Amino acid sequence: MLAAGVYPQVWLVASVTLGLGAGQSMKGVVPPWTVALCVVAAAVAGVAGRRARHVGGAAAILGAGAVSAIALSVVTGSSWSVTLLVVGLSCGAPWLGGRYLHQQDALADEAAQRARVEERSRIAQDMHDSLGHELNLLSLRAGAIEMDTTLTTTHHAAASELRVGASAAITQLAAVIGMLRGDGPVDWGPTRPDIAELVRRAADAGMDVTLVRNGPEDAALPAARCIHRVIQEGITNAARHAPGSAVTVTIDSSAQETKVTVTNTPPNTSLRRTPGSRTGFVALQERLQACGGTLSAGPHYGGFRLIARVPHADAR
């Protein structure tokens, strides 16, 4: 078997030779030893077909075997059809079966690789959603402490170092996410997200955030997670690119879809902005496309506005 993996064409030649010998020996009767030869030839051909990397040489060998079967039958006076049939059944068919198994192995490897890429993409998305959000809020808290006039110079310096460190961590996290990302995010979260808690945490971190809800709050879990992700990205972007701005989160729900609008006013120019990599926005577009939604974003009266429409699964 090991030799078949190293020299598949040599083993195929051996298989064809055994098949020719068995076919030439079947003259009116079928001796038991010829059946054994056919079984051995089939096993060798099947392994050779499964281990072969290219089919060109094997096709030439099988073609030469068919020509040899006819030529030997003419010389020996035996039935060429019998010899050709024996070679085909003991060599050609098993080799094709081996090629089929080879293709199945390749498909299994490809599926495993795709699963690894999807897992890396899921990890990258989770890192962006959780760590990126927390680091941006940490940077925002440090910036608020840095602007507090009641603290000493030492406290201001410590807050500044904390803010710079958080910004550096955000940049490094973006680089890691860039390396991990594959075909797209995979969302396996089992629990319903709490939008009110998300907004409250942002407000506790020092952001001016207002949540406005219009309509029912009974979206299915996939849609609810998309809605939560849109709001999280909008708040994170405001904290990063427009520190000190007022953020308004508006959720308009109907029986068919939920419209989410995250708007922030112009930033406080005295606070330092953190550069972004657009990784979160691209991932958000992919997630909305996966659930059938749409996303638009752009400047709005000196600030920024993000609008997403998420269809409900039971209305599609």
Compute the mean pLDDT over every residue in the chain, rounded to the nearest whole number. Answer: 76
Give the whole-angstrom CA distance, residue 92 versus residue 77.
Answer: 23
Domain assignment of residue 294, yes or no: yes
Is residue 132's pLDDT more than 90? no
Residue corresponding to tokens 């890691």: 176
* Last residue in a domain, options 81, 112, 143: 112
pLDDT at 136 over 50: yes
| pLDDT > 90? residue 223 | no
Closest to 143 measured CA to CA, from 171, 123, 162, 117: 162
pLDDT tens digit string along 244-284?
899 999 999 998 899 999 999 998 766 555 555 556 677 78
- pLDDT at position 316: 47
Residue 141 lies in a domain: no
Q: How far apart are CA 13 and CA 25, in angstroms?
A: 18
- Has residue 282 been placed in a domain? yes
Q: Does 196 reside within a domain?
A: yes
> Is residue 179 in a domain?
no
pLDDT at 15: 75
CATH number for the domain including 285?
A: 3.30.565.10
- What is the extent of the structural domain holding 51? 2-112
Report if pTM > 0.85.
no
Total H helices, total E strands in the chain: 11, 5
Q: Are residues 221 and 315 in the same domain?
A: yes
Domain count, the chain: 2
Q: How much of the chain exceeds pLDDT 70, in percent?
A: 78
